[in-house]
Amino acid sequence: MLKRVVITGIGGICGLGNDVPAIWDAMRAGRSAIGPIENPSLHDLKVKVGCEIKELPDHGIDRRQVVSMDRFSLLAVIAAREAMRQSGLTAHADNTYRMGATVGIGVCGFETIEENYRAILLEGRNRAAIFTVPKVMPGAAAGQVSMNLGLRGPVFGVTSACSSANHAIASAVDHIRLGRADVMVAGGTEAPLVWGVLKGWEALRVLSPDTCRPFSADRQGLSLGEGAGMAVLESYDHATARGATILAEIAGAGLSADASDIVAPTVEGPEAAMRFCLVDAGLNPEDVDYLNAHGTGTKANDQIETAAIKRVFGEHASALSVSSTKSMHAHCLGASGGLEMIACVMAIRDGVVPPTANFREPDPECDLDVTPNVARERKVRTALSNSFAFGGTNAVLAFKAI
């Protein structure tokens, strides 16, 4: 029998706030943080709208570690420290090799890459900064989290574009289920609000000129954001043995691939991931109360996700509460699933479904209950979180009250 896996701590940072209480307060209020990006180094952009962290908190991380981190790693460590504090766990000689970390990242350390390109190509310097390689590598965030928290068990980065956080969490669940670890710190992080990344997304012609309106008929595309969302996962037996407060159970995960197109999603891939997740969690469709949708705000994605949800949930689709919190924290790429994990856990804890903000016009092709603009009180026993990515990689997680 597989071990049960529970969440005993969560941490986050994004444009909505610098910790989970602030993020959840904004989500409950339907308060979108998407707006003009203030970074003065971003020039020559047609779309300069996103969800920016205006000021980092006083995080207390040693300066000697900070100088070796790109922004995406720093955000991950800030969120992981908050999650660890809530869990009440600390690493010590007896448990350090039974505690690990998996951190999802969609791109890599582009802030560092751009700093070095500017220094070499524009300022005429003859070499890159000494920490360039360890700062930009996609696995850096996981390594920095492990060093900061003293975790010596399974530690690695996960990269699958916008599904990275959910894949990282699913991998952490597997490590605990298989007995390789008792505790895993897992989630995702991203810092994509840099010139080169934004120019690349601009070229795809999917960025909204003003804000993100998932499922609204007048939606014009997605908005990019930065942030991190992390959770402390433990086996149920480990958590109860130490008297930990359990926030929710990760009941299952479903993974699939479209094997179709590098950017255009299919209905069948997301459908399969949701079905696999329900099977893994031992759930029937009617057991699910809330679904945090991938909901990017592009015309095609929202219609395809709606169709996939209808196929999986059948008649129950009309009774299901759905929302896209990307309407508030934007699309944080590899961090999105981590932030949406926070939304699912807190929806279960507080009995509140966060809304889809910025909604203006119903779309007959997206005819689900998308919780427009205003949060709704509802007993949430089980929640699903969808993440679908370029490359056709899909990852769905199921969270359950305990």
Positions annotated as catalytic residues are 162, 294, 331
Q: Give yes or no for a contact between 368 and 322, defined as CB atoms under 8 angstroms apart.
A: yes
In the three-class reduction of DSSP (H, G, I as helix; E, B as strand; rest coil), residue 64 is classed as helix
Angle 253-257-263 (CA atoms, 0-180°, nearest 5)?
Answer: 125
Rounded-to-integer distance, Cα 1 and Cα 23, Å: 36
Report angle CA 132, 58, 32 to the nearest 5 degrees: 90
Residues in the chain: 402
Burial (0-12, 13-18, 19+ Cβ within 10 Å), 287: middle
Sequence-distant (≥ 6) Cβ neighbours of residue 120 within 8 angstroms:
126, 127, 128
Tokens of 175: 């490590």
Please list, in sequence order, all residues whose beta carbon lies within 8 angstroms of the beta carbon of residue 32, skipping any fewer than 6 positions away.
211, 212, 327, 328, 357, 358
- Asked if residues 221 and 239 have their Cβ atoms less than 8 Å apart, the reply is no
The rounded distance, in Å, linking the Cα atoms of 277 and 385 is 10
In sign, the C-alpha dihedral spanning 135, 140, 144, 150 is negative
3-state secondary structure 254-303: EEEECCCCCCCCCCHHHHHHHHHHHHHHCCCHHHCCEEECCCCCCHHHHH
Q: Alpha-carbon distance 315 to 137, whole Å?
A: 45
